[in-house]
Amino acid sequence: MDLPKLAIAALGGTMSMRTRIAGEGVIPTVSGETLLASVPHLTTLARFTVETLGLLPSASLNFECLLSVLSWAKYQVEQGAVGVIITQGTDTLEETATFFDYLWDCSEPLIITGAMRSAAQPGADGPANLLDACRVALAENSRQRGVQVVMNGQIHQACSIRKTDSLALQAFSSPIVGPAGTLVEDTVRYLRQRTRQMRLPLPQQTTQKIALLEASFCADTLLLENILELGYDGLVIAGFGAGHVSESWADVLEKIAEKIPVIIATRAGSGSTAQSTYGFIGSEMDLIRKGALMAGFLCPRKARILLWLLVGCGRQTELARYLKEDIRFQN
């Protein structure tokens, strides 16, 4: 019987890490081919095209690299792959998953996975995650579900997933909504309907710079005051609570919002920004009056990805509509 075809792009991360020099820590070393060989069972499920497109810690991936991975993934689907798996580091996975999610327009699943324990550690989770990711990519019920992340036996939608623990095996969660599905023995079970995602056109440029600053107790305004002069094209603030900043930040943000898009998200880790509850200086109502836009459920890092993509395709003036749509799509 002709087995279905899957494509795997390996980008590095803990899944690919080993120690080269004793005592110096693990670094990306293991190729995609070797990862595949670590799970012999996989070759009974599918035929594979594997490419090591990078061997990097995920903190050092960049937008250009993601765009070439995206075009590689689309090419694989054109060549008959029924699904594509990307293996990468988990540190920036919530951002890269969001990036792909805005741009992936195929009905074939794009699955991202990684590992919390390196290949050399006892109980390494990489092989199990890779096997699960392939099972999800092969499952008929994964079609039309866009970009998903498979980690530790759970399936999360790219739009909701966050890294919520630095080192635990259960490092990822989707605040409020929970996982979209789970693996039960070797079957893929979805627990709810897919949240639809807006699609964006490919960015025409990649040089845009979007700053992300977190509001913190009694913080000065030095960095904020220099944002425009430094040439940033957009700004995301991880605000207090429901999307708030101090009075001194609010004053500076008003000036910035006259020139570049400003999004206020919440630094709380879960939940939405408010729109019309608080009226003090620095509150969401005040910041909206001053020209900022509220991120809703989008976390600061995902909001920055959205803004980067919009500026990249010259649609920053449509940001308000996209943020509104985003909330609609969450429902």
Task: Please select the residue that binds ligand ASP; options are 32, 57, 126, 234, rule is CB under 6 A.
Answer: 57
Interface with ligand ASP in residues 93-122 (CB under 6 A) = 114, 116
Pick 90 or 272: Cβ nearer ligand ASP: 90
DSSP 265: E
Q: Is 126 in the site for ligand ASP (CB under 6 A)?
A: no
Looking at the chain, the number of H-run helices and the number of E-run strands are 9, 16
Stretch that binds ligand ASP, among 84-92, 269-277, 292-300, 311-319 (CB under 6 A): 84-92
CB 130 within 8 A of CB 83: no
Kindly provide the residue ranges of all beta strands, DSSP E only, lying in the chain, ordered along the sequence: 5-12, 17-19, 26-28, 47-56, 83-87, 110-113, 147-151, 154-157, 162-163, 172-173, 181-184, 187-190, 210-214, 234-239, 262-266, 293-294
Quick check: 14 binds ligand ASP (CB under 6 A)?
A: yes
Give the shortest CB-51-to-ligand ASP separation in angstroms.
18
What's the Cα-to-Cα distance from 128 to each of 40, 51, 79, 273, 326, rounded to whole Å?
Answer: 11, 19, 27, 37, 33
Closest alpha carbon to 76 in 51, 40, 112, 98: 51
Pick 132 or 284: Cβ nearer ligand ASP: 132
54 part of the interface to ligand ASP, by CB under 6 A: no
User: Quick one: 151 or 183, whose CB is closer to ligand ASP?
Assistant: 151
User: For the chain, percent helix, then strand, then coil, each to nearest 5?
Assistant: 35, 20, 45
Q: Which one of 32, 83, 89, 181 is in contact with ligand ASP (CB under 6 A)?
A: 89
Contact pick of 76, 90, 148, 273 for ligand ASP (by CB under 6 A): 90
Which one, 166 or 317, has the nearer CB to ligand ASP? Answer: 166
Dihedral (CA of 51, 57, 60, 62) sign: positive
- The letter for the amino acid at 32 is G
Residue 5 or 117 with smaller CB distance to ligand ASP: 117
91 binds ligand ASP (CB under 6 A): yes
Q: Which stretch binds ligand ASP (CB under 6 A): 89-97, 238-246, 273-281, 302-310?
A: 89-97
Q: C-beta of 281: minimal distance to ligand ASP in Å?
A: 39
Per CB under 6 A, residues contacting ligand ASP are 13-14, 57-58, 89-91, 114, 116
